Structure 1
């Protein structure tokens, strides 16, 4: 069953501009009818639900795009295809949880340090790597440590 962009937006509880954005990023696809209006297959609703859920889990659009690239675009994926994707995401989430737990457990040592270039900072500056870039405050947002 084909659906208009407005119908999909209403059913998926997203803005039409969000659908256009998802389509531009290759996350979903549509076609044009004879009146040059966008039409979507009903299976797009499931893809949008997965995209929204993945975003709530903190997955980046790049991670979501990569995962969905292995799934069919013109029909709903099989249960096994969803399971494979979910297993990959579970591993990624476990890794993210482990990193966050490490950050939480070592946060006491970081509070008040200020410069993030001392050798004691195990969170942002293991083995005082940033000391090689200079003294004082060091911009770590653009470094390989982030």
Structure 2
């Protein structure tokens, strides 16, 4: 199982990604392959765990650069172990909590003012009368508040 004997097509199918995605991940240094005697790419089975980590990160907004930095911390480019995953998950859990809080605020504000400063909604004057939120900064400042 530790041999690099899985073709790019097999890995793509099992990981649920396009072959071009695997080539891109490899170009970015997120995964690696070896070449067989016929100069065809071959992968070890544990690359599937790396791809799963990449895809999980992407779903929560972790950039490929951030994922590469996480994977670069592992010795000898090895695949994350259970302990490694626990450490990664802890960091991602905090990020997810922040995202969930922001999404909840956005969900509650979708039909009302989000404090963007545009003053175009009829209800904005209730939340941003005389554009007082301008004093707090640019953008959707109500959504950025930690006290709301």
TM-score, with normalisation over the residues of structure 1? 0.69
**Which residue does the alignment assign to 2:58?**
55
1:13-32 to structure 2, matched below 5 A, reads 13-32=16-35
**Aligned equivalent of 1:113, options 116, 119, 134:** 119
Provide the aligned length of Structure 1 versus Structure 2.
127
Q: Distance in 1 between matches of 2:42 and 2:63?
A: 27
Deviation for aligned residue 1:87: 0.6
Q: Distance in 2 between matches of 1:73 and 1:55?
A: 24
**Which residue does the alignment assign to 1:90?**
93
Determine whether 1:76 maps to 2:76: no
| Contact 2:15-2:51 at 8 Å conserved across structures | yes
Secondary structure in 1 matching 2:79: coil
Q: Distance in 1 between matches of 2:66 and 2:134?
A: 27
1:1-40 to structure 2, matched below 5 A, reads 1-2=3-4, 3-40=6-43
**Which residue does the alignment assign to 2:135?**
127
Which structure shows the higher helix fraction?
Answer: 2
Secondary structure in 2 matching 1:8: helix
Are residues 33 and 87 of structure 1, via their aligned partners in 2, closer, same or farther at CA, if it must alter by over 3 Å?
same
Are residues 128 and 88 of structure 1, via their aligned partners in 2, closer, same or farther at CA, if it must alter by over 3 Å?
closer
Q: Distance in 1 between matches of 2:10 and 2:114?
A: 50
Secondary structure in 2 matching 1:65: helix
1:97-108 to structure 2, matched below 5 A, reads 97-107=100-110, 108=112
Deviation for aligned residue 1:106: 4.5
Q: Distance in 2 between matches of 1:4 and 1:73?
A: 22
Q: Over aligned residue pairs, what C-alpha RMSD do you find?
A: 3.0
| Contact 1:41-1:75 at 8 Å conserved across structures | no
Secondary structure in 1 matching 2:73: coil
Deviation for aligned residue 1:63: 2.9
